[in-house]
Structure 1
Amino acid sequence: GINPSNIGLEGSIGGECDGKWWGGAYGWAHTTITPHTGEPKSRCSCGRCIDGFGNALLLTGDTRYINPWRTTLDAINANTRIVDGVEMTPRMHGDDGWYEWMPGPYETGALEIYYWSMDPVDRDRIPETPWLSYLEGRAPDFPVEAIQEEIGQVRRKVQEMRSDTTTPDTRLSDNPNRFRPAAVDSLVQLAMGGPQPIVGRPLHTRLRYFDLQRHRPGLPEDVGALVDTITATETGVHLVNVNQLEPREVVVQAGTYGEHNWTSVSVDGAPPDAIDGTAFTVLLEPGTGAYLTLGTDRYVNQPSGAFPFV
């Protein structure tokens, strides 16, 4: 079934909206009129509930917690219709049924579901995306293109901010949001092996790095990382020290919060060595690098914010 957007205080579906599962603020039927244009605007935020399912998975390791959103995706896409030769699916539901039809399948949260499960059935719900194409070997230029695009985005946002002519007394509180220059999506995907982060969500990644010398999170100075393999049981990452004079030590943790476990490590294709833990340290001599293939046991540890060193 579909994840409802209203639950009554007594626990019944639609209990605060005359039994309508689609009711509620920012629910499946939340369409309002934009004051300055008079045009209707749909503002359903039901897709944000997937964050709760991800939190439950993170805390328990039980993938059954993501089933409710699987069924939601399938139920919505079961309403697909062809309009003028174009496949259309709804995004909203009100008293008269489905509306807000748009081209293509409803895919909100589909990437997260697949990332958490690594189930091929979940992969089938996702259309082609540059990041997945790269991980699956079909887009080798994606890392360079993605970084270049985000650097360009930073430049554009800063220029727009500097060119803005509004004054504090004439702008709304959220008007500056569009000028936010931070662009981290490709960095999370390519360096940490995680899907694009969304505001307010715990970070789900395959790897997290720590600077052993400075005792802080993040890659050490002069060290680069590129994740090119993510499967149900393996993670592949290139680590490089571009400093030509000094060595660097980097701690490689399994998951943002140590929720995963490393089971083996292979260096540059050599036979793997068995390990068992949430983190290990890599010494990179000046101007060197290595490709690590890491056996990965996912969502088996209680998440923790503790650093993996004393």
Structure 2
Amino acid sequence: ANNGIIPDNVGLSGQVGEYVGGRWYGGLYGWTWPHGFYSVGMSALVASSSAALLTGDMGHLDLARNQIDRTFELGSVRDYDESAMTIPEHWVGQRVGLKAAGQTQSFLVPHRHDDNGWFDYQPLAAMYPTALWATSMARHDWDRIERLRIVENYDWNLVVPFRSKEDAGHEPPWVRFLAGANPTYPEQILRESLAMVHWRLDRIRNDRADLAKVNIHHWQQHNPVITEALVQLTLGAPSPVYNGGLLHAPIRHFDAKRRRPGLPEDVAALVTNADEDEITVELINLNPVETREMILQAGGFSEHRFETAHATHSEWSESYPGAPMSSPIAPGVSEAAHRVNGTHVGVRLPPSTRVTIRLRMSRYVNRPTYDLPAMGG
């Protein structure tokens, strides 16, 4: 219906356009004002991904899939520099990438619609297909990301130092890392994030604005809490969709000793691979003298189930004065596979231990919950 375009308004009777002359566009924060697809696309993602989480039915994602596909079909290659855009500050990565490639031509899609038709051509943010894929992990949703990458006229491996109000925007280099094509991304995005923290702290120290008169953007631009890199690297997930999205992540970490969410002190985690059936995470205990214990959860809301866990030591030192082993690895064994058949798996990390765990999982087989796993004292 409506050529695959979601209407932005509906009357109390259920009739589309009931109060705007029968038009499917014209609602507040809809297709005409102020941002068009930027807002409508997020609404479709939040609604469909939430429904998929609650029901386990990935068919709900068709709402977002169809809108993203239709918007893509309306796009064309245009001169980026000559396109009037209402939110140009959102496209720092594209602008810098095109300049680095010596290009001005890029794939743009119309973001808004009025009585004269489509207008306001801007990039199609990689956030949309990436958030879609992060919910389903399906190959055909990954293909939507690849389709966008192919038509954009710049190198997606490029890590551009910027921070949007969504604390997002680095999806292109991150998905290239997951594809095995951008191996230095973790180091680059961590450096970028740390630099942004220092820059924003400096802005706070030198802030001379009348705080009684500033708007929300002032606080967004001074906020030193930067999470995008940590969410991507440690959870294998993109930032939540800005306008109301949940954090759809394949795994979640818990500190078993302190009995709280998050990584234990001195423990680093890096998700190196994620697909519909399996996730690979590398865990390192950086502490040279103390053991760390943690719990991995299948999904941000225990909605998934781990089937098997295969753990491998990526480093081995016979001269180390202690057994370099970690659950589920038995003493003296460099790797082992175990049947899990549950939502949680415990990991024990002795000092200076590096372990890579490959987790096979069944997705959306459990009712989502905020309940925490049982953790010892």
Q: Using structure 1 for the length normalisation, give the TM-score.
A: 0.90
One-letter identity of the residue aligned with 2:5: I
Q: Show CA shifts across 1:260-308 (max 9, x none).
A: 1101000118463222000011111111121000001112111111111
1:117 aligns with 2:120: no
Q: Structure 1 residues 193-202 or 48-57, which shifts more?
A: 193-202
Whichever structure has more helix as a proportion of its residues is: 2
Match of 2:353 among 277, 288, 301: 288
C-alpha distance 178-12 of structure 1, shift in aligned 2 (>3 A): same
Deviation per CA, 1:208-229, whole angstroms, max 9, x where unpaired?
1111111111111111111101
Mapping for residues 123-134 of structure 1, pairs under 5 Å: 123-126=142-145, 127=149, 128=156, 129-134=172-177
Question: In the aligned structure 1, how far is the partner of 2:224 from the partner of 2:349?
Answer: 32
Task: Output the CA distance in 2 between the equivalents of 1:42 and 1:293.
Answer: 41
1:62 aligns with 2:57: yes
Among 362, 365, 371, the alignment partner of 1:297 is 362
Native 8 Å contact 2:37 2:112 kept in 1: no
- Give deviations 1:183-206, integer Å, cap 9, x for gaps: 110100100111123443221111
Bigger drift between 21-30 and 74-83 goes to: 74-83
C-alpha distance after superposition, 1:105-156 (max 9, x if no partner)? 4655211112222233322322241111111111110001111100001011
- Give aligned-pair identity as a percent: 33
Q: 1:52 Cα shift?
A: 1.6
CA shift digits 1:145-181 (9 cap, x unpaired)? 1111000010111111222221224423542221111
Work out the CA distance in 1 between the residues paired with 2:19 and 2:125. 27
- 1:116-265 superposed matches below 5 A: 116-126=135-145, 127=149, 128=156, 129-199=172-242, 200-265=244-309
CA distance in 1, matches of 2:216, 2:131: 30
1:43-82 alignment runs, 5 A limit: 45-49=39-43, 50-82=45-77
**Alignment RMSD (CA, Å):** 2.0
Partners of 1:185 and 1:197 within 8 A in 2: no
Provide the C-alpha distance between the structure 1 equivalents of 2:338 and 2:49, rounded to a whole number of angstroms. 31
How far apart in 2 are the matches of 1:86 and 1:224?
A: 38
Once residues 276 and 138 of structure 1 are traced to their aligned partners in structure 2, the CA distance between those partners, rounded to angstroms, is 32
Paired residue for 2:17? 14
Contact 1:91–1:106 (CA under 8 A) maintained in structure 2: no
1:89 aligns with 2:83: no
What TM-score, normalized to structure 2?
Answer: 0.75
Q: Is the 8 A contact 2:311 2:356 kept in 1?
A: yes
Alignment partner, residue 36 of structure 1: none
Question: 1:9 touches 1:16 (CA, 8 Å); kept in 2?
Answer: no
Q: What stretches of structure 2 of length at least 5 have no aligned partner?
A: 80-104, 150-155, 157-171, 314-334
Change (3 A) 1:148 1:164: same
Take 2:126 and 2:285, find their aligned partners in 1: how far apart are those partners? 39
Q: Which amino acid aligns with 1:181?
A: P
Structure 1 residues 257 and 167 mapped into 2: Cα distance closer, same or farther (>3 Å)? same
Question: How has the CA–CA distance of structure 1 residues 283 and 106 changed in structure 2, closer, same or farther, with 3 Å as cutoff?
Answer: closer
Residue in 1 aligned with 2:121? 101
Cα gap change, 1:210 to 1:44, in 2 (>3 Å): closer
Q: Is the 8 A contact 2:278 2:359 kept in 1?
A: yes
Distance 1:29 1:239, change over 3 A: same
Alpha-carbon distance in 2 for matches of 1:231, 1:73 = 21
Q: What is the CA distance between 1:16 and its match in structure 2?
A: 3.0
Q: Hey, what's the Cα distance between the residues in 2 that align with 1:198 and 1:105?
A: 15
Name the SS for the 2:144 alignment partner: coil
Question: Is the partner of 1:9 in helix, strand or coil?
Answer: coil
Contact 1:107 1:125 in 2 (8 A): no
TM-superposed CA distance for 1:43, in Å, is 8.8
Letter in 2 for 1:196: S
Contact conserved, 1:28 with 1:94, CA < 8 A, in 2?
yes
- Contact preservation (8 Å) 1:26, 1:44: no
